[in-house]
């Protein structure tokens, strides 16, 4: 593996695997620092490809495309964990790659990920692996796990590849509905709330923590993040950050890492999953921290000093899904961005996706305020402007 000896400085070229919104915001941060950015993504019209200095439109395992990246980029990162880990390992023999293929391999398989986290002494939800008819029978006997959630071991995101299983009798059918691919069956835990710990770790092992975000999901998709987490006391922040740093250190991780936690009704802390990249719950950093998570990803990859993670204002981040482009009768409509921005201290970020679809992440809005309550009121006013139901916390 290539080790970082001297920092990669502008105007070098950086590569990113994946052209989604995370790749786009990485490219924007890198370009604003003077780097050129090449994006590899098979979609001709991807959010990051649109503004890349060069978009290589090819499959992630296309050898010629990867060779082109290796020949032209000084460093390569990834925007999602489902890129084949051997692609990152192959690139890592040729250029600086962060996070490494080994780290991504852990995060892309829930079974490997849970085993790894548990070995580090951090709790995960009680679970069993479902990978054979014998394992199915053994899982059916684990009545303590029900009601449970069945999750595909690989390729899950935004609640996709998950089914709730109320009782053991429903398990075989639920597994069948996921085509009997390898899964984990997880006990559905009594959640008090959810938080995520975002950090960056450099090649030299330096760690920079961001404030803890408190996350509300709707239908398995992140709805809002409120930062600093209003329900977390200082002791909880400390526990979560210590656990996240330990995971990063054990992985030998370089880059931006996010650890999602469940806080149970009895106060215990359980790791849900790990994202080896910037995270949706870290989008608030774009308007409320000295260094955004995307600039931090650039700095970590290139071996520059990590930026200060100090939060400049409390912030609520609202995810904007494609649903905002349809009224209650499902007729198309244009969201009223002028109305949203008439809330002072609100910041709109849209990802350049041509087709709004329900449940598709189209953008986000950050609301800052002197106090978190103020930011939340601004967010709820904007939700009304956009015709979105409910509030920040539901």
Q: Which does 81 bind (CB under 5 to 8 A by kind): Mg ion, ligand ATP, none?
A: none
Least separation in angstroms between residue 203's CB and ligand ATP is 27
Residue numbers at the binding site for ligand ATP (CB under 6 A): 125, 149, 151, 156-160, 186, 188-189, 191, 194, 217, 220, 260, 272-273
**Is the CB of 62 or the CB of 158 nearer to Mg ion?**
158
Q: Which does 125 bind (CB under 5 to 8 A by kind): Mg ion, ligand ATP, none?
A: ligand ATP
**Is the CB of 94 or the CB of 188 nearer to ligand ATP?**
188
Q: Which does 220 bind (CB under 5 to 8 A by kind): Mg ion, ligand ATP, none?
A: ligand ATP
**Can you give the chain as a three-state secondary structure string?**
CCCCCCCCCCCCEEEEECCCHHHHHHHHHHHHCCCEEEEECCCCCCCCHHHCCEEECCCCCCHHHHHHHHHHCCEEEECCCCCCHHHHHHHHCCCEECCCHHHHHHHCCHHHHHHHHHHCCCCECCEEEECCHHHHHHHHCCHHHCCEEEEECCCCCCCCCEEEECCHHHHHHHHHHCCCCCEEEEECCCEEEEEEEEEEECCCCCEEECCCEEEEEECCEEEEEEECCCCCCHHHHHHHHHHHHHHHHHHCCCEEEEEEEEEECCCCEEEEEEECCCCHHHCCHHHHECCCHHHHHHHHHHCCCCCCCCECCCEEEEEEEHHHHECCCCCECCCCHHHHHCCCCEEEEECCCCCCCCCCEEEEEEEECCCHHHHHHHHHHHHHHCCCCCCCCC
Least separation in angstroms between residue 149's CB and Mg ion is 11
Least separation in angstroms between residue 270's CB and Mg ion is 13
Q: Which does 189 bind (CB under 5 to 8 A by kind): ligand ATP, Mg ion, none?
A: ligand ATP
Least separation in angstroms between residue 29's CB and Mg ion is 23
**Is the CB of 68 or the CB of 123 nearer to ligand ATP?**
123
Least separation in angstroms between residue 331's CB and Mg ion is 32
Q: Which does 54 bind (CB under 5 to 8 A by kind): ligand ATP, Mg ion, none?
A: none
**Is the CB of 9 or the CB of 265 nearer to ligand ATP?**
265
Which of the residues 243 through 262 are near Mg ion (CB under 5 A)?
260
Q: Which does 227 bind (CB under 5 to 8 A by kind): Mg ion, ligand ATP, none?
A: none
**Is the CB of 159 or the CB of 322 nearer to ligand ATP?**
159
The footprint of Mg ion (CB under 5 A) covers: 260
């Amino acid at each position: 593996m290539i080790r970082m000896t001297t920092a990669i400085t502008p105007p070098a070229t950086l590569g990113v695997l994946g052209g989604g919104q995370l790749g786009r915001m990485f490219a924007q941060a890198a370009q604003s620092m003077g780097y050129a950015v090449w994006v590899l993504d098979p979609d001709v019209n991807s959010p990051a490809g649109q503004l890349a200095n060069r978009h290589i439109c090819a499959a992630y395992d296309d050898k010629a495309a990867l060779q082109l990246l290796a020949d032209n980029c000084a460093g390569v990162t990834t925007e999602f964990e489902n890129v084949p880990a051997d692609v990152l390992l192959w690139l890592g023999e040729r250029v600086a790659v962060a996070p490494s293929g080994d780290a991504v391999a852990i995060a892309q398989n829930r079974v490997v990920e849970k085993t790894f986290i548990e070995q580090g002494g951090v709790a995960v939800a009680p679970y069993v692996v479902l990978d054979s008819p014998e394992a199915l029978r053994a899982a059916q006997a684990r009545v303590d796990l029900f009601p449970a959630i069945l999750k595909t071991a690989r390729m899950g995101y935004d609640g996709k590849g998950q089914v709730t299983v109320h009782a053991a009798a429903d398990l075989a059918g639920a597994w069948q509905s996921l085509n009997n691919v390898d899964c984990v069956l997880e006990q559905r835990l009594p959640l008090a709330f959810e938080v995520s710990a975002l950090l960056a770790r450099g090649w030299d092992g330096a760690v920079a923590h961001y404030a803890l975000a408190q996350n509300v999901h709707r239908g398995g998709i992140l709805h809002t993040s409120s930062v600093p987490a209003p329900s977390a006391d200082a002791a909880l922040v400390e526990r979560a950050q210590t656990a996240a740093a330990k995971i990063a250190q054990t992985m030998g991780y370089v880059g931006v890492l996010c650890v999602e936690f469940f806080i149970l009704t009895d106060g215990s802390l359980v790791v849900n999953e790990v994202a080896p990249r910037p995270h949706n719950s870290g989008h608030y950093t774009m308007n409320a921290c000295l260094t955004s998570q995307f600039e931090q990803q650039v700095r970590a990859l290139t071996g520059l000093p990590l930026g200060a993670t100090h939060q400049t204002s409390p912030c609520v981040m609202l995810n904007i899904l494609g649903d905002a482009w349809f009224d209650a009768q499902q007729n198309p409509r244009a969201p009223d961005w002028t109305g949203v921005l008439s809330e002072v201290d609100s910041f709109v970020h849209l990802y350049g996706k041509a087709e709004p679809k329900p449940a598709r992440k189209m953008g986000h809005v950050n609301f800052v305020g002197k106090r978190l309550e103020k930011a939340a009121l601004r967010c709820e006013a904007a939700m009304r402007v956009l015709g979105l139901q409910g509030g920040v916390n539901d």
